[in-house]
Structure formats: C-alpha cells, structure tokens
C-alpha cells in the first residue's frame, strides 16, 4: 500500500506563463519532467528514500513576482515506513537545497518549502 504527502515550493527564476497552468500543455509536461528530475533524487537520498515511490506535479502557479512559479507536487511512499516525519523530511530537503535556495539550476524562494504528510 502507498501513502501520499504534498510538497510545495517556489522557484524564483522560472517565469510563470499561462501554459504552465494547463496540465495538458507541452510546457507543463516538459517542466513537470524537469521538476521530477530534481525532486526524485533528493527524496531518494533522504530518510524516506527506501520507501519513496514517486512524485507527480499537480500544478504550477503564479508566484508573488512575475518571474516566480509555485510548484505543487504529490509524492508517494510505501506504507511499510513506520512513521512519516514531515519535519525531518523538511529539514533534510532544506539542507539538500542549500537552505531552500537551490534546486539544480533553479533558485528557490527561501521560505517557500512546505511538506505536509
């Protein structure tokens, strides 16, 4: 069995465009693949790694500034994980993203990471 958790963050150097809001658009699909390319390895290196089964971007949204794009994802893990510790996962992801400032070649809004079990 599988359980889900949500993860949200804001990228400050990915300009939001209307086609990012459309899940069937080429822009959405290609950006979703790029996000998975960055998110999955982080979660695989975290304490949830052995139980991690995947993530799906559920949406992109406009950030506070024109060049900001919010990312919403639902990630899954195998239920054999004894306890999902969202604070621990948050701190691990924070460390792996240089204090929530870098995700690959993307810059993150420092206080934008949110993990909810």
Cβ–Cβ < 8 Å for 25, 101: no
Number of structural domains, the chain? 1
Domain that holds residue 53: 2-116
Read off the CATH number of the domain in which 102 is found.
3.30.70.960
- Residue 100 contacts by C-beta under 8 Å, 6 or more apart in sequence? 9, 93, 94, 108, 109, 110, 111, 112, 113
| pLDDT 10s digits, 25-44 | 999 999 999 999 999 999 99
| pLDDT 10s digits, 47-89 | 999 999 999 999 999 988 878 999 999 999 998 877 889 999 9
pTM, to two decimals:
0.92
């Amino acid at each position: 069995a599988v359980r889900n958790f949500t993860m949200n963050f804001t990228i400050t150097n990915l300009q939001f465009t209307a086609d990012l809001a459309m899940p069937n658009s080429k822009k959405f699909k290609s950006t979703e693949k790029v996000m998975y390319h960055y998110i999955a390895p982080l979660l695989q290196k975290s304490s949830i790694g052995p139980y991690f089964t995947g993530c799906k971007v559920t949406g992109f949204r406009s950030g506070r500034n024109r060049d900001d794009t919010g990312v919403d994802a639902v990630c899954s893990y195998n239920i054999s994980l004894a306890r999902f510790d969202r604070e621990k996962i948050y701190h691990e992801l924070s460390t792996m993203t240089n204090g929530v400032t870098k995700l690959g070649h993307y810059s993150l809004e420092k206080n934008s990471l949110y993990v909810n079990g």
